[in-house]
Amino acid sequence: MPTHLPRAHRCDLARTLALGDLVAAGDWLIYWRSARTNLARLAAAVAGYSSQRGVKKLRLAFTLLNGHAESPRESRLRVEIVLAGLPNPEVNVELFDSHGVFLARADLLFRAFGLILEYEGLQHLTDRAQWQRDIDRTHALEDEGWRIIRVTAEDLRDPRRLIERIRRHIASRVAQSRGL
């Protein structure tokens, strides 16, 4: 999204963009490593948005922004999760083993349920070295008790099956914690 657009025009995007795309654009604007704006400025823009068309979507999108999202698909995935009534996952979290050794950065993390979602773009298939690093990383995380669900673009086209997998895993972890 061009950052030279006046604030009002950025808000007007709420009229045409899907919620996930709107959140992805907002996440990009506030990404912590190269922020183009900040939450306070966006909050002011949202508060000053006078158009009725798109205002509810814009306000909802604002509540879903996360300055740690590193890709539009991570943002869209997070939106699908929250809209499905699941907990809002942590974003791009560094994980360490029981000795304090860095293991990986999880794209989306449900810490309380021992679940990691990893978005796999095409480079994970086409780059052999990346593919091997992904496998090694998955093994290291699994050795520490994490469950990893790998997510692709196809999962985002129709996320119902993915959402059900996440629900089943969370329910299973809740049952385990209760000794059921």
Answer yes or no: is pLDDT of 141 > 60: yes
Judgement on whether residues 107 and 138 belong to the same structural domain of the protein: yes
Judgement on whether residues 36 and 112 belong to the same structural domain of the protein: no
Cα dist. 153→42, 132, 156, 172 in Å?
A: 29, 20, 5, 26
Answer yes or no: is pLDDT of 48 > 70: yes
pLDDT tens profile 52-100: 788 889 899 999 999 999 999 999 999 999 999 999 999 999 999 989 9
Judgement on whether residues 126 and 168 belong to the same structural domain of the protein: yes
Q: What is the pTM of this model?
A: 0.85
Judgement on whether residues 151 and 114 belong to the same structural domain of the protein: yes
Report yes or no on 1 lying in a domain: no
Judgement on whether residues 83 and 145 belong to the same structural domain of the protein: yes
Mean pLDDT score, 144-155: 95
In angstroms, the first-to-last Cα distance of the chain is 49
Judgement on whether residues 53 and 98 belong to the same structural domain of the protein: no
What is the CATH classification number for the domain harbouring 154? Answer: 3.40.960.10
Judgement on whether residues 88 and 163 belong to the same structural domain of the protein: yes
Judgement on whether residues 145 and 167 belong to the same structural domain of the protein: yes
pLDDT tens profile 3-17: 444 455 556 788 889
Mean pLDDT score, 27-51: 83
Give SS3 for 81: helix
Structural domain range at position 47: 7-64
pLDDT of amino acid 87? 96
Tally the C-alpha atoms within 13 A of residue 46's C-alpha that lie toward its C-beta.
Answer: 20
pLDDT of amino acid 34? 80
Chain centroid offset of residue 105 CA: 13
Answer with the residue of higher pLDDT: 88 or 33: 88
Judgement on whether residues 136 and 156 belong to the same structural domain of the protein: yes
Burial label for 70, CB within 10 Å (0-12, 13-18, 19+), is middle
Judgement on whether residues 50 and 85 belong to the same structural domain of the protein: no
pLDDT of amino acid 66? 93
pLDDT of amino acid 7? 53
Domain count, the chain: 2
Q: Which two tokens stand for residue 154?
A: 């196809």
